[in-house]
Amino acid sequence: FVLYGSEEGLAYLYYNNLAEKNNAERVFELTEEDSIIITKYYDKFFFPERRIIMGTLPDEEVLTATSKLVAHYPVYYYNFYLNEADVNYLNERKFPPYELEMNLVKRMNRNFGLYKLERAVPPSLPEINK
């Protein structure tokens, strides 16, 4: 084993793991105890404190399950940070068939963001004057 000097060194792994645990604690502060988090990379940090769906968006199976779950539980997505244009694209093009909408809760660090998935509010129809 290498102690210092590389990404495989024990010192690097220790401090990186500690930073990730601190990041997970921040996610716990921002999410409800009964919430579900969709993630691909952080399942080991979030489970068992939160229920996990392993996956990424837009995955058809994940979106189908999420569209049912949001009626009963808070559902979050934790993955690479998406810029506003990417979030808008998902909300406008990929999520409407599932009646979902995603909004940034917090950018957690340089690379990752926490998003909340909720039932989309359908656009209201204009009133017709009689």
Which pLDDT belongs to residue 107?
Answer: 96
Q: Residue 97: what residue type?
A: P
* pTM of the predicted structure, to 2 decimals: 0.81
- Matching residue, tokens 């340089």: 110
Go through the chain and tell me how many residues it has.
130
Which pLDDT belongs to residue 130?
Answer: 57
Backbone conformation region of residue 16, classed left if phi is above 0, alpha if psi is from -120 to 50, else beta = alpha
Which pLDDT belongs to residue 18?
Answer: 74
What 3-state class would DSSP assign to 54? strand
Going from the N-terminus, what domains does the chain have, and what CATH number goes with each?
33-119 (3.40.190)
Which H/E stretch holds residue 33? none
pLDDT < 70 positions in the chain: 1-16, 122-130
Which pLDDT belongs to residue 12?
Answer: 47
Distance CA 14, CA 8 (A): 10
Which pLDDT belongs to residue 24?
Answer: 92
